[in-house]
Every structure is written in C-alpha cells, then in structure tokens.
Amino acid sequence: MPDIKRPLVIVTRKLPDVIETRMMELFRARLNLDDQAMDRAALKQAMAEAEVLVPTVTDRIDADILSAAGPNLKLIASFGTGVDHIDLRAAREKRLTVTNTPGVLTDDTADMTMALILAVSRRLVEGERLIRDGEWQGWSPTFMLGHRLKGKRLGIVGMGRIGRALARRARGFGLSIHYHNRRRVREEVEQELEATYWDSLDQMLARTDIVSVNCPRTPATYHLLNARRLKLMKRDAIIVNTSRGEVIDEKAMADLLRQGEIAGAGLDVFENEPAVNPRLLKLPNVVLMPHMGSATIEGRIDMGEKVIINIRAFTDGHVPPDRVIDTEF
C-alpha cells in the first residue's frame, strides 16, 4: 500500500508484538520499542507530527499538550478503557476525535476484583508472607482466621460492564449483590443478578460487608468515597478498588484502616500512582497490586485490535465504533 494512503500513527508505549506488526503493515507506524514513557516535550512533538496518536492511560493529554496538535492530527486512539487522562473538552475544541477500547477488559478486571476480595477476606498475602519469612509454626485452630464469603453482602459502586461481571462471579461464591449507580440498571439485569439497588450510596456503605469500587474516574466521582462516607462502613467490612485511585480519599482510607475502623482493603489502583501512600505500605491488612487488573495477554491484544479497528474506520471516513461521547457510571 503506498504511504500516501497510510496515516502516520505514533504510539507512545510498547504494545504486544502482534499488534505492532499489524500496525506496521497497515499504517506508517512510529513505535516506542524501548517502552520509555514520553515526557511532556516528547508528547508535544508527537502531537505536532502525528495524524493519529495512540496514547495509553498513563499519558496525560491535557489542554497544554493538546495545544501542540499539528494540522494533520485528527484522531487520538487511546489504548485503554478510561479516558480521564485526556482533556475531552480541549480535544473537542481542537476538533479531535477520541476513541478508547471498552469492553475487552471486563472479564480480566472482574477476575482481579474477585481475587482481591478473596485475598483480603482470607488473608492470603499475610499467610504467604509468613511462610516466606520462615515464621510459620504449624496449624492451630485459631491461626490466621479470616472470613467466609458465603452469606456476605457485596456493595458494588458502579454497575457498568465490570460491575455486572463482578456480580455474576460473586453470586457463585454465595454473596448477596447490592449496588449503587447513577442510573438504576434494567429490571431484567437486577432479576438476573438478584441485585438490590440503593439510591443512597451512604446507606449502602453502612449495610454491606464488602465494598467494590467499579466506577470510572470523572469529576463527579473524584473522592466519591471521602472520609465521611468511608466512616459509614462497618468495622468488619473490607474495600476493594480496581477502578481508579482518585475515587477514594486515599489518606482518609489509610487512617481508617490503621485505626481498625475498616477491616481491610485490596487495591490495584492508587491516587498518585505509581506512588503509593507510605501508610498503606505498612499495613498488614492491605493487599496491594501494581495496577495489573487488566494485565492479561489476551486483554492487551484485544485492546490493540480495537485501536486498529478505530483507526481504520476513521481513516476510511466512518465514525469509529468506540468514539468517546460521554462518561458515566
């Protein structure tokens, strides 16, 4: 295919080999083979040169970066589901189309959420550390007691794709499903999941044994779980977050965990990642993961394929299937 028909696509991070190979076949692709994150100057340079920019969720595409967009840039095809790293208003003002990769990470993230619920409830990481540190003295009736899941109430904050996938998994463990969402889900979905809807997030937090954060990061959800709301949780409840760290007031959560006001937490995301609150690092009742909820080979390839489909649709003159219009939970 002649280069004149192939858009210049600049990719900000290394992607799976099969995706990069396909991009080289279809586009004039400029890859990031050493996988070093672009600084602001490099991002601005890429904005100035590209016809299509493929950033990831760790690239902050704010108004200042967008101001460097060259006349040929028409599409930002983000490699990721969340779009809180892109200033959508500024992109709209620059007449740029933004796409993402929704849906393909649903099962992977729901799996990780369920894994964290199990890990915290059954104290799996604490037990593993005991063995590695050579401190295990053998079995006893009261050793490393956790909590069973069956019969507990799970409160899901954000009943989107991931929230519903989590609910289906949780029912298999005998958990009772409760949820809070900006909009109530369809009646048939509630019936399938045997889910109880709470219009009041405060009331749900006070009555559930496990709280799972599964809503996106938007201006409306920033510190949605603030200090006041976190204090409503039961003392023996646990909280799990595989969404975005900014949804929880991390400092307040760390204080309540240290004081025993919340029994435990499983966190795959952090408010200022990759920095982690030092208070969390010291707590034995917290399981910490390095933002790996979506980290499966299959998921990353599916994401890349969605990026390619969006680019091809756009450059062929069609509306890309994953054009970002609105964000809600």
The model's confidence at residue 327, banded by pLDDT at 50, 70 and 90, is very low
- pLDDT of 328 over the 60 cut: no
Model confidence pLDDT, tens digit, residues 22-37: 999 999 999 999 999 9
CA atoms of 96 and 323, how far apart (whole Å): 11
- Residue 324, in any domain of the structure: no
User: Residue 140: exposed, middle, or buried by beta-carbon count in 10 A (0-12, 13-18, 19+)?
Assistant: exposed
Residue pointed to by tokens 């958990």: 175
Same domain, 206 and 239: yes
Is 323 within the bounds of a domain? no
Residue in 22, 291, 312, 323 annotated catalytic: 291
Q: For residue 328, is it within any domain? A: no
Same domain, 66 and 168: no
Mean pLDDT throughout 51-58?
96
Tell whether the model's pLDDT for residue 329 goes beyond 90. Answer: no
The CATH code of the domain that includes 301 is: 3.40.50.720
Catalytic one among 49, 192, 261, 273?
273
Q: How many Å is the Cα radius of gyration of the chain?
A: 22
33 shares its domain with 155? no
Mean pLDDT score, 67-94: 95
Q: Are 68 and 157 members of one domain?
A: no
pLDDT of residue 187: 97
The tens digit of pLDDT for each residue in 114-130 reads 999 999 999 999 999 99
Residues 215 and 73 in one domain: no
Is 323 a known active-site residue? no
Q: Which helix (H) or strand (E) holds 239?
A: strand 238-241
Q: Which structure tokens are listed for 155?
A: 């409160």
Contact of 113 with 212, CB cutoff 8 Å: yes
pLDDT digits (tens, 9 = 90+) for 181-227: 999 999 999 999 999 999 999 999 999 999 999 998 888 999 999 99
Q: Is 28 a catalytic residue?
A: no
User: Of 229, 244, 250, 300, which one is the catalytic site residue?
Assistant: 244
- My answer on whether 155 and 93 are in the same domain is no
Instruction: Indicate whether 281 belongs to any domain.
Output: yes
Residues 87-93 have a mean pLDDT of: 95
Domain shared by 233 and 283, yes or no: yes
For 34, the token pair is: 């050493």
User: What pLDDT does residue 4 have?
Assistant: 55
Which has the closest alpha carbon to 98: 127, 69, 126, 123?
A: 69
pLDDT at 82 over 90: no
Query: What total number of domains does the chain contain?
Result: 2
Q: Residue 158's domain spans which residues?
A: 106-288
Task: Give the CA distances from residue 4 to residues 7, 27, 187, 299, in Å, rounded to whole numbers and listed in that order.
Answer: 8, 10, 51, 32
> 69 and 53 in one domain?
yes
Domain shared by 262 and 190, yes or no: yes
Q: Is residue 25 part of a domain?
A: yes
Q: Give the pTM.
A: 0.88
- Please state, rounded to an integer, the average pLDDT across all residues of the chain: 95
Same domain, 97 and 110: no
Whether 244 is catalytic: yes
Same domain, 124 and 250: yes
